[in-house]
Amino acid sequence: MTSRMELLSRLAVENQTKMVLLVVDGLGGLPGPRGLTELESARTPHLDELAARGETGLLEMVDLGITVGSGPGHLALFGYDPLEFSVGRGILEALGVGAAVGPGDICARGNFCRWGEREIVVDRRAGRLPTERSRQILERLGREIPEIDGVRVTCYPSQEHRFVVVFSGAGLDERVTDADPQKEDRPMRWATARAPEAEFTARTANAFIRRVAEVLEGDPQVSSCLLRGFSGVPLLPDLKSLYRIRSAALADYPMYRGLARLVGMNILESGPRYGDLFHAVQAYWDDYDFFYVHVKAPHLAGEDGDFVGKVRALEALDEELNLLTDLQPTVFVVTGDHSTPSLLKGHSWHPVPLLFFSPYGRPDDAVSFGERVCARGGLGKIEASKLMGLMLAHALRLMKYGA
Amino acid sequence: MTSRMELLSRLAVENQTKMVLLVVDGLGGLPGPRGLTELESARTPHLDELAARGETGLLEMVDLGITVGSGPGHLALFGYDPLEFSVGRGILEALGVGAAVGPGDICARGNFCRWGEREIVVDRRAGRLPTERSRQILERLGREIPEIDGVRVTCYPSQEHRFVVVFSGAGLDERVTDADPQKEDRPMRWATARAPEAEFTARTANAFIRRVAEVLEGDPQVSSCLLRGFSGVPLLPDLKSLYRIRSAALADYPMYRGLARLVGMNILESGPRYGDLFHAVQAYWDDYDFFYVHVKAPHLAGEDGDFVGKVRALEALDEELNLLTDLQPTVFVVTGDHSTPSLLKGHSWHPVPLLFFSPYGRPDDAVSFGERVCARGGLGKIEASKLMGLMLAHALRLMKYGA
């Protein structure tokens, strides 16, 4: 735990205030053909009014020039130093497919593959097995390989030849190398333990691969599978014990619900549209102190390089925003977990626009919400992992440090 | 000692320049009914002219969102990392009542209290004993309990039932628990040592409480006292040995004089008004390199929620400011130890306006002194504990680092 987190935890008190953190995935962008970014181009009267009444700034997600994935981006927004705490690829993938994982479980990403003679891996993707065919195989595996040496095995389908496997049982350890030769036409490489404590896990993983091969024997396309990115559930101190807040998540994709669960948020259900998510916040308003709301559409458009699509997604969001602001949260924050400029068709390192509203702010000159307005904003550039502490401060939930 | 402090100390040289640090207690504020903060509302032509000729910025006292007390706020302004160095509650209270404390002394906050049968604490405040009555009791205790087991005991009155006790002698240690049941109608809880080295101190404290009970025997209202917040004088490297500066303090309240003494400043005497303090700086101008001047009135108005009163206090300060600027210090800084917005009636986490004047600055666009001007200021947002080094730099008192 960082000293800042310890300090905040020591100062935290309970009260009746409400906080809303609206995470617009991929919010930040870059100028398009007409010199304005997606957010600057979008017609967003509600966000603009909030920016005029509140404060603006930029979030540096991890460090200057560093592009973050959704895992570290969200950890930072939830107040965890993303260089100190990390979420492995296996666990992120597992969260992404909605796998149920708990403390002690180990997840890995699986690929169906094809072996030639003497276990030479001739196709690491089994001809990019169709998703539906993978799903059928996984159902069969579920019936035939419920456990290995007392370790429960659960597989979850993903796209095409990909799946996720979760090993649940006592004595598992994530320090296991990939069971994957990395290149084709090489002999199968088996999982090995990187620490003595992980030997049982490596043996279990290899036994699973052998069992898959037995079950699939005779199949002309699929011989067995490769396993990569072994990882357990990270030990994150939860928000309730850290800051005495009851927190809830409304998110449109399993990965974000999973990330929220890791930090101890309750996961609320709703439909996938902006309005569905925001109505759910209304429905649960009295039950929680802190609401994390995640919307994905702006990122998806950015990832497609669809400048106009991202503009539209932001405008559609703005139209529903009053469903949240009408609740009059004490602290209302709109930001993102990373930038996704259409120009780059993917996550980028650019700091993320931040809109911060509370009754205890010093409104700056902003009269609209956009990257360059935020770069001149009164809050300046803030480390993303410090945002949570600032929200607690404005919610009057932190005592004074020192007399 | 932080690496920055070590570096500054290694680079520090003497010269003839003068530095003035004017600390306006509770300087930072929040917008009032007309959208301007107290400082933005105040008519402050002298400060505005200085802002126009100098540089502006904001001080982050400890960390984003953290509200600081006067202790850590001042430590930061004096160049000490307030998370590394701390000043205990007992010692701050002792400084606040003007107690003479030195290295090795242990202070505690005292409450007169009333015991029922079998030492049940039935009233932790002895009916909020009037200040004058407490003072009389303390005078009697001073005569009757001058020492305990070779430890000198000195009591200082505070408000109502409160007082401060200073234990002076060899072998004392602050690691002692409160002698206080915390709630009423519970048996007296006696001081205990949190480390073996503190056992003598705990015994001495408990013996003092017993002696007080003996002296007060038969008094219908007061039985004895509770002691809390045992703390010794923190070991702070002094400014003279750190930076080769002769420093002096002019402060209108005992606590600030005490804080200044902790870092090795000479304490100068003056009347309490702005003009008195500033005239005293003039009188001692040739004798010191660094003057710390503290004014309290703006904080007091802010703490009362008196927006207009805080505006007036700032305007009154501005009217006398030429007494300091006429001295033509090489470096003249106006800032605060924390914000005290009238809206919040207390210390707050908001960064503190900073006005920095020296002949070697890069004046920014500021033409007035206020929170939002400072948020756009050329100095940006600075960690408060780094200010001292910047002052030394502008006073040309730091050599080059490396060849």
pLDDT tens digits along B49-59: 999 999 999 99
Spatial CA neighbour of A7 closest among B386, B81, B58: B81
Residue with tokens 């070697």: B360
pLDDT at residue B322 is higher than 70: yes
The low-confidence residues of chain A, meaning pLDDT below 50, are none
Residue range B271-289: average pLDDT? 96
In a domain, B400, yes or no: no
The reply to whether B216 and B287 lie within a common domain is no
Same domain, B69 and B195: no
φ/ψ of residue B133, rounded to 5: -65, -40
DSSP H helix total and E strand total for chain B = 15, 15
* Rounded alpha-carbon distances, angstroms, from residue A5 to A78, A84, B124: 11, 12, 34
Instruction: Report the b/e string of A202-221 with b at 16+ CB within 10 A.
Output: bbbbbbbbebbbeebeeeee
* Boundary-marking domain end, from A232, A251, A275: A232
3-class SS at A398?
A: strand
User: How far apart are alpha carbons B151 and B174 in whole angstroms?
Assistant: 14
Domain region containing B308 = 3-85+236-394
User: Among A232, A265, A298, which residue terminates a domain?
Assistant: A232
Residues A82 and A107 in one domain: no
Q: What's the pLDDT at B358?
A: 97
Task: Specify the number of domains making up chain A.
Answer: 2
State how beta strands B290-295 and B247-251 pair: parallel
Q: Which residue of B has its CA nearest to A392?
A: B65
Say whether both B268 and B332 belong to one domain: yes
Q: Note every long-range contact of B259-263, with CB atoms under 8 Å and residues 24 or more positions apart, other chains counting.
A: B259/B70, B259/B71, B259/B74, B259/B75, B259/B78, B259/B87, B259/B95, B260/B74, B260/B78, B260/B292, B261/B95, B262/B87, B262/B95, B262/B233, B262/B234, B262/B236, B263/B75, B263/B78, B263/B80, B263/B236, B263/B238, B263/B239
Residues of B with CB under 8 A from a CB of A: 30-31, 35, 37, 62-73, 82-83, 86-87, 89, 92-93, 341, 343-344, 346-350, 371-372, 375-376, 380-381
Q: Are residues B246 and B376 in the same domain?
A: yes
Q: Is B214 exposed, middle or buried (0-12, 13-18, 19+ CB in 10 A)?
A: exposed
Considering the domain architecture, whether residues B245 and B370 belong to the same structural domain is answered as: yes
Interface test with B, best of A362, A365, A386, A394 (most B CBs within 10 A): A362
Cβ within 8 Å, pair A390-B65: yes
* DSSP annotation string for A302-353: HHTT-HHHHHHHHHHHHHHTHHHHTT--SEEEEE-SSB--TTTTS-B-SPEE
Whether the CA torsion B205, B181, A7, B300 is positive or negative: it is negative
User: What percent of chain B stands above pLDDT 70?
Assistant: 100
- Give the domain-ending residue among B211, B232, B253: B232
The answer to whether residues A305 and A376 belong to one domain is yes
Nearest CB to B375 within list A4, A378, A382? A378
User: Which of B64, B347, B350 shows the shortest C-beta gap to A400?
Assistant: B347
Tell me if residue B377 falls in helix, strand or coil: coil
Q: Are residues B326 and B240 in the same domain?
A: yes
* B209 shares its domain with B244: no
| Contact residues, chain B, for A390 at CB < 8 Å | 64-65, 349
Same domain, yes or no: A272 and A286: yes
Residue B59's beta-bridge partner residues?
A: B352, B382
pLDDT exceeds 80 at position B243: yes
Residue-by-residue DSSP string for B275-343:
HHHHHHHHHTGGG-SEEEEEE-HHHHHHHTT-HHHHHHHHHHHHHHTHHHHTT--SEEEEE-SSB--TT
> In the structure, what pLDDT confidence band is assigned to residue B181 with cuts at 50, 70 and 90?
very high
Is it the case that residue B92 has pLDDT exceeding 90? no
* Nearest by Cα to B210 from B225, B227, B194, B193: B225
- Are the C-beta atoms of B237 and B1 separated by less than 8 Å? yes
Which pLDDT belongs to residue A96? 82
Tell me what pLDDT residue B253 has. 85
What pLDDT sits at residue A1? Answer: 65
Q: What is the DSSP letter of B236?
A: -
* Contact of B252 with B271, CB cutoff 8 Å: no
Q: Provide the H-helix boundaries in A238-327.
A: 239-243, 254-262, 274-283, 297-303, 307-320, 322-325
